[in-house]
Amino acid sequence: MSGTVHLVGAGPGAADLLTVRAARLLGEADVVFFDALVPPGVLALAPDAQKIPVGKRCGRHSTAQRFINKRLLDAARRYRTVVRLKGGDPMLFGRAQEEISFLGKNRIKVEIVPGITSALAASAELGISLTLRGVSRSVVFATPRSADGESSGWARAVAAADTAVLYMAAGDAVRVRDALMASGKSPRTPVAVAESVALEGQALHAGDLQTLPELAARCAGGPALVMIGDVFAAAQAAAWRSLEPRAASQTA
Amino acid sequence: MSGTVHLVGAGPGAADLLTVRAARLLGEADVVFFDALVPPGVLALAPDAQKIPVGKRCGRHSTAQRFINKRLLDAARRYRTVVRLKGGDPMLFGRAQEEISFLGKNRIKVEIVPGITSALAASAELGISLTLRGVSRSVVFATPRSADGESSGWARAVAAADTAVLYMAAGDAVRVRDALMASGKSPRTPVAVAESVALEGQALHAGDLQTLPELAARCAGGPALVMIGDVFAAAQAAAWRSLEPRAASQTA
């Protein structure tokens, strides 16, 4: 009888922004496989588990994923409760499907526990709702990263939505800005770059689409979100103030 | 000295899908204002608080919102910890901004605690990732509901994204289908209608965009999401099986 693999969302970083279910599973886990971005405070919720880092490196995705799949399978055959901990939510830019399919084919039971995706954590920290009556009733989460040098479908999706949050985009700010302006987004569209949301070093850089490369250049190297849309006009004035006290209280 | 108003995401319904922070705040709250969709199991996390329902009725939004704002302000002037509990995440279709702005103008401190939005809970229950290498790298959350009889901007946003989840759409399925097909979405695009996610009565109806009205008609009246995109092709075969056992275990 094999164990169950739980794909668990670790949320944005703060240990109290996991779900109650995720925290309970970590406490019960025999073994926890975790990504590079999961901070120590979250791993501390699994004091009795074997903790195994399986961070992936850019450009070496396929090999690493096959290796992770195999390790999850081996663990499920040996242990009762296996937790695969992924930053944010597993079903949004978490590459969960490859693990779900592989384990399913090998008749391992998989349960998925959702997590707070960093876009929603950033919105909460900023105090700016992603939807707003009369301004925004569509919100797109997208990434311009592609393994295969693919097209600008993501830019059309971003241009068509009222509000957009781009994951894994801050390192590629010039290309992102140019693609969005080519897709019809105004250079004056408000933009906020949120770095290390709910982690030590949380910071916000607000401006507009035209200035996105400068905003991204101010990041100190933490994971960053690029947030685009009229709802973020408020970020240009107020966000620093609302962010700093929370960042201080959270890293205490 | 006024208290703090915490706008807290209640998640999709299951009491263990709130964040640890949300559960702690409910335990400390003096008073909890809650929406119609928050189930009793979640409210039970606040055994010592005064619990006040503030459900809104369709078409009477403005009056109700002003009334809620006023009650939150009065409570913040009287109590230390006021929780405003909203289904899902407060910053996604939660109308949080009106409460944040009003309280801010009245110099009341507001903190926001994110929640699991029902689209991510549904994705977890289905075992279908909203993003998928080579298939989907943009996900839009949108609503076709409008107070002001507004245009089809939401439909263009949905048509441009690889994956879409529509909130508050199942009651208007014919108009939604027609608007999406007019915006260029293929009638054969896979669709899944997820009802009462993580609640008693959880159900899934899978088909394609052409058959959306029939899928929506099978709903029993619970809150429903319309999920659209190629990633949901898998839902047509497998979803009933993966949903039913979980629904049983969660309502136990």
Summarize pLDDT for A91-103 with one digit per residue, the tens: 999 989 999 999 9
| Average pLDDT score over chain A | 89
Cβ–Cβ below 8 Å for A15 and B20: yes
CA-to-CA distance for A34 and A88, rounded, in angstroms?
Answer: 12
- Residue in chain B closest to A113 (alpha carbons) equals B124
Between A17, A100, A121, which is nearest B127 by CB?
A100
Rounded to two decimals, what is the model's pTM? 0.92
Mean pLDDT of the A218-225 span: 91
Q: Are B22 and B9 in contact (CB under 8 A)?
A: yes
Q: So which residues of A are the catalytic ones?
A: 35, 56, 168
What is the model's pLDDT at position A115? 98
| Average pLDDT score over chain B | 89
- Active-site residue flag, B227: no
Put simply, whether A133 touches B (Cβ < 8 Å) is yes
Other C-beta atoms lying within 10 Å of the C-beta of residue B150:
12
Provide the pLDDT confidence category of residue A245 given band limits of 50, 70 and 90: very low
CA-to-CA distance for A52 and B41, rounded, in angstroms?
Answer: 35
- Residue in chain A closest to B45 (alpha carbons) equals A20
What is the model's pLDDT at position B249? 37
Contacts of A15 in chain B (CB under 8 A): 20
**Counting Cβ atoms within 10 Å, is residue A54 exposed (0-12), middle (13-18) or buried (19+)?**
middle
What is the model's pLDDT at position B121? 97
- Among A1-10, A51-60, B37-46, the minimum mean pLDDT is found in A51-60
CA distance B180 to chain A (A): 14
pLDDT at B248 over 50: no
pLDDT at A248 over 80: no
What is the model's pLDDT at position A123? 96
CA-to-CA distance for A242 and A197, rounded, in angstroms?
Answer: 13
Contacts of A89 in chain B (CB under 8 A): 120
What is the model's pLDDT at position B213? 97
- Among A74-78, A93-97, A235-239, the minimum mean pLDDT is found in A235-239
Residue window 188-217, chain A: list those with CB within 8 Å of chain B: none
- Among A154-163, A241-250, B84-93, B125-134, the minimum mean pLDDT is found in A241-250
For an interface test with B, which of A6, A132, A133, A138 has the most B Cβ atoms less than 10 Å from its Cβ?
A138
Mean pLDDT of the B229-240 span: 75
